[in-house]
Amino acid sequence: VGFVEVVNYPSLDVVCKLNAHTAGCYCIAMDPLDRYFAVGSADSLVSLWNVKELLCIKTFTKLEWPVRTVSFNHTGEFIAYASEDPFIDIANIQTGRSIHQIPCKAAMNSVEWNPKYNLLAYAGDDKNKYQADDGVFRIFGFEST
């Protein structure tokens, strides 16, 4: 099912195996302040884990399709995640609330925050008017409040 293995480095000995989701885990991201990690899964959920205690502290549930990509912003205040849903969700880590949704016309394969600013790059697949596959790459920015 959806396990996350925690290993020691450099030995790569398994410390523990977390039962994180009800389906396969597709992506993982570390909070830049090393407090949390987030796991996206085929069950359409993103789980937020406390690094020190290895406990799930929050679940983000806005998507209906398997989560393909997840990323924290540079302050660790926001998380962005996406799938085949027609939007990218941006949520506040502390409250768990969605603060913005970026509309998409295609499945997103990657979301990544700029390391210094609230700029989010995202890429996915799209169909042009002749039904050929085109890649989409865009950048979204906003001011945090």
Residue whose pair of structure tokens reads 């290895």 in the numeric block: 54
Q: Token pair of 24, please?
A: 């396969």
Q: Where in the chain are the domains?
A: 25-141
CATH topology assigned to domain 25-141: Methylamine Dehydrogenase; Chain H (2.130.10)
Helix, strand, coil shares of the chain, percent, nearest 5, are: 0, 55, 45
**What is the CB neighbour count within 10 angstroms for residue 20?**
21
> Residue 134 pLDDT > 70, yes or no?
no
Question: What would the pLDDT profile of 25-43 be if each residue is shown by its tens digit?
Answer: 999 999 999 999 999 999 9
Contact in structure between 33 and 52 (CB atoms under 8 Å): no
The pLDDT of residue 99 is 95
Q: Is the pLDDT at 145 greater than 60, yes or no?
A: no
Convert the pLDDT of each residue in 94-114 to its tens digit: 999 999 999 988 899 999 999
pLDDT band of residue 131 (cuts 50, 70, 90) is: low
- 126 in Cβ contact with 104 (< 8 Å): no
Answer yes or no: is pLDDT of 22 > 60.
yes
Give the separation between CA 46 and CA 139, rounded to whole angstroms. 22
pTM: 0.88
Q: Work out whether strand 119-127 and strand 108-113 pair parallel, antiparallel, or are unpaired.
A: antiparallel
Average pLDDT, the chain: 91
